Amino acid sequence: MSLRDEIRWEAPLPADYPSGGNRLFRTGSFGMACWDHYVVTAEGRLLLVGSGWRDDPEFADISGRPPVDVEYHGDIELSSDQGDHRYVARFTHGTLESIRPIADGEPWDLTGIAHMKFMTEDRGA
């Protein structure tokens, strides 16, 4: 089983996503996935809210620190928790610009992923 980060999606989703569907997604787009927990807020910001091996379905702050706005710039490949929906979300200077379905057979190249900036002072590093 490969490691995948989890993202709870609070921002709007494409029209093809079932209303009332689970808004939990998995991604390996951040390079070294380690079961970190993220939230995309209703305002379209990607926040790191938990980290590590612990199962935290509600994404409570398990680190004892406030959420970190990671100021992501680039594309993220998303798979719904059930695996039946795949999307690519584009962030520009930390704000969600778009989310669209990945077409069948469309290549997904991790070398095209942009880097993520962590604010180390908020992470205690």
Nearest to 78 by CA among 29, 37, 124: 29
Domain layout of the chain by residue ranges: 5-123
Residue pair 106/100 in contact (Cβ under 8 Å)? The answer is no
pTM of the predicted protein model: 0.73
19-70: per-residue pLDDT in tens? 777 899 998 887 666 778 899 999 999 998 887 655 444 545 445 667 889 8
Phi-psi region of 35 (alpha: psi -120 to 50; beta: other; left: phi over 0): left
Residue 91 has pLDDT above 90, yes or no: yes
Lookup: tokens for 88 = 């690519």
The Cα–Cα gap between 4 and 113 comes to 15
- What mean pLDDT, rounded, does the chain reach? 75
